[in-house]
Structure formats: C-alpha cells, structure tokens
Amino acid sequence: MRNELLPKHKAVYQPLPTPFQLSNEKANVSLVESQLESAQAALEVQQARDALSKELGPLQLLSLRRKLEVAPPVVFARQTTTKFRPSASVSGETDLPKPALGIQGSISTSDVVDFLRQQGAFDLETDYSEEGKPVQLNRLTLAQINTACDFVLVAESQNETDSVDKLGRIKKTGRYTLVAHILPSNTRARVPVIVRPTVASSTTASTASASAPASSAIMSGQTRGYATSTKPTSMESSMRSKLEAEFGPQVEVNIRNDSSKHAHHAAMAAQGGGNGETHFYVHVVSDKFSGMTQIKRHRAVNALLQGEFDRGLHALSLRTKTWKEEGRTTPGVQAEGEQESTVSI
C-alpha cells in the first residue's frame, strides 16, 4: 500500500538559463530575422526586375545596351585639392595631371547616370527604326534604371588604388569606366568617364589672377564646370545667369566658390565633402536694391536662387549693395558721360 501512494514520476530539475545563453538565443533570433528580411528584399527586387523585363521587352533592352555602348565620354571638371602645372599633349589638349590629384567632394555613379539620362542615353526605342520613320521613345525613370541595371565605377589605372573609395565614388582626377550591368539581359556596357581639373586648379590661373588689376583680383568671376563635355551646368554659371537676367544690364555680379572651406563640416563630411559647389560668396551691385532693407534684399536673392538650393546649394554669403552705397557710378550713366565729353572735344 505504501508503494502505491508514492509518486510514480520523479521531478526533474531544470536550471534557469544563464545571461550568456539568453543573449546567445536573442542573437540567433535576430540573425534569422535579418536573413528572412534579406531574402524577402531580394525576392521583391527579383520580382521587380522580372516585371520590368516583361514591360520593356527584348527590343528596348537591346536599345539600352546599344545606346550605352555608343555614349560619348562623360567629362567632369572639378576643383582639385592641390595646384598643378598643366602640360599640353601632342594633339594640343591639356594632359591629365600625373600622379592623379584629389578633387573636392566626390563623383558617384548616380552623378554619371543622371547626366547620361539628361543626354538621352536611357531614351529607348520602342520599335525597329526605319529610314524616314520617326520612332517613339520610352524614357526610363530613375527607379526603372536602378532596377534594371547595376553600376560600378572602375579606374583604368591599376596603380591608383585609392582613386575610387569603398563606397564606389571617384575621389581623384583620371580616366575611369562606368560598367553598366543590364540585369534582365545579363549584358554589360562600358561608358568612359574622365575627371579633369578646372582651370582654377592650375598654377597658371593663380599667376594670371595675381597679375590682374586690383579691381578684378578681388573676386574671380570665372565659370566652374560641374560636369559634362557638351553642356556645362555649373552652379555658379546658373546663379550668374539668373541674377543678370533679374537685375538687368546695369548689374555687377561677383561670385566666389568657398565650398572647399566647408568640406570638413559635419553636414558636408557626411556627403563625402560635398560636390564642390555647396557654399558661395555672392556680391551683387544694382540700383534695384534702392529703398530695400538688407533683409529684403537677401530674401529676394534667396528666392531667386531657390532652384539652386534644391539642386544641392547649401549656403550663400550675400553682399547686396547699390552703386551709390559702393561709392561708384552706375555703368550706364558713366558711359553716357564719357561719350558726351568725347563729342565736345
């Protein structure tokens, strides 16, 4: 009777998990979740590529490859971190500096792709072209381009190992190649990319500015090309054209690029030092500022250049004056006075 009243199963002691075991289990769960998320993201990308491949079809994919293969070299002009002495080649063109020089900011694949898109490299033919027959073109969006292609920038010189950083951005002058992997057709096209120093980066430019008159040596008004070999689209030239169009012929616009002085700031460092066209000093002299306070003058200029702020302009240091405040005569009035004195003589 006594044996029957005793429990038939013995209690098993299970110790509580240690903190190390708990953290290890949590890490394993997080790893599995990240792997599942990565697999889900890869599946969604593949589905998007398959859908885009069906939407474009073999004809447009062939047109994409052909247009990238025949695209002319993309030339970027950038301010360098050090001065150099230019040398002319046999053909008369200025050679690229050797060794390569560091540039202010960086050039990413998106910069090259955006320029190619503006030049029509991603305007695809939707039908077989025939002589005398207009062909409808389908201009791919940036989302479609990034879905259909993978882009990588590669330096032509194997000696310059640090020309392209770990994020795939160009950091020095030289010759590069944009490798476009067209994923739906599994083909590759290569576009030459050349990064040249601006004229302001040469020692001859500094010598010329030193020998110039004091009135023109205060501020340099030269155009700094941001990119392209065919249509320069400099931030500085864009601002200059807008200011001259707004304030008329009797205006003096002086612009100085101060981007290099701010490349080390936190906001610019997060962008790789900026694109070399983020901070400018702008001096505008016009009688249209008469009767306006400094705040209203600055607001007028900032509103006029809102498009440049949207394109990446970070800050402006403004000096807005009338001709009288500058202690100078309005150009038109001065020219008429000179003409009258000449006639009287």
Domain boundary among 174, 199, 224: 199
* Structure confidence at residue 179 (pLDDT): 92
- Are 105 and 195 within one domain? yes
Give the 3-state DSSP-derived string for the chain, with helices as H, strands as E and coil as C: CHHHHCCCCCCCCCCCCCHHHHHHHHHHHHHHHHHHHHHHHHHHHHHHHHHHHHHHHHHHHHHHHHHHHCCCCEEEEECECCCECCCECCCCCECCCCCCCEEEEEECHHHHHHHHHHCCCCEEECCCCCCCCCCCEEECCHHHHHHHEEEEEEECCCCCCCCECCCCCEEECEEEEEEEEECCCCEEEEEEEEEEECHHHEHHHHHHHHHCCHHHHCCCCCCCCCCCCCCCCCHHHHHHHHHHHHHCCCEEEEEEECHHHHCCCHHHHCCCCCCCCCEEEEEEEEHHHCCCCHHHHHHHHHHHCHHHHHCCCCEEEEEEECCCCCCCCCHHHHHHHHHHHHHHC
Q: What is the CATH number of the domain that holds 305?
A: 3.30.300.90
- Are 293 and 187 within one domain? no
**Is residue 7, in this structure, part of any structural domain at all?**
no
**Is residue 95, in this structure, part of any structural domain at all?**
yes
- Are 192 and 238 within one domain? no
- Are 310 and 182 within one domain? no
- Are 76 and 191 within one domain? yes
Of 119, 120, 180, 122, whose CA–CA distance to 154 is shortest? 180
- Are 69 and 195 within one domain? yes
* Structure confidence at residue 284 (pLDDT): 92
* Structure confidence at residue 338 (pLDDT): 44
- Are 79 and 194 within one domain? yes
**Is residue 311, in this structure, part of any structural domain at all?**
yes
**Is residue 1, in this structure, part of any structural domain at all?**
no
- Are 76 and 195 within one domain? yes
> Which pTM does this prediction carry?
0.49
- Are 195 and 263 within one domain? no
pLDDT (tens digit per residue) in 12-44: 777 888 888 889 999 999 999 988 888 888 888
Q: Which residues pair with 178 in a beta bridge?
A: 153, 191
Average pLDDT over residues 202-212: 51
- Are 241 and 195 within one domain? no
Domain boundary among 199, 219, 252: 199
**Is residue 33, in this structure, part of any structural domain at all?**
no
Higher model confidence: residue 214 or residue 317? 317
* Structure confidence at residue 341 (pLDDT): 37
**Is residue 41, in this structure, part of any structural domain at all?**
no
d(CA 138, CA 55): 11
**Is residue 39, in this structure, part of any structural domain at all?**
no
pLDDT (tens digit per residue) in 274-308: 556 788 889 999 988 999 898 899 999 988 888 88
Domain boundary among 199, 220, 248: 199
- Are 146 and 243 within one domain? no
Number of domains in the chain: 2
Higher model confidence: residue 215 or residue 58? 58
Segments forming the whole domain that contains residue 152: 57-199
- Are 193 and 244 within one domain? no
**Is residue 124, in this structure, part of any structural domain at all?**
yes
Positive or negative torsion for Cα 103, 105, 109, 115 = negative
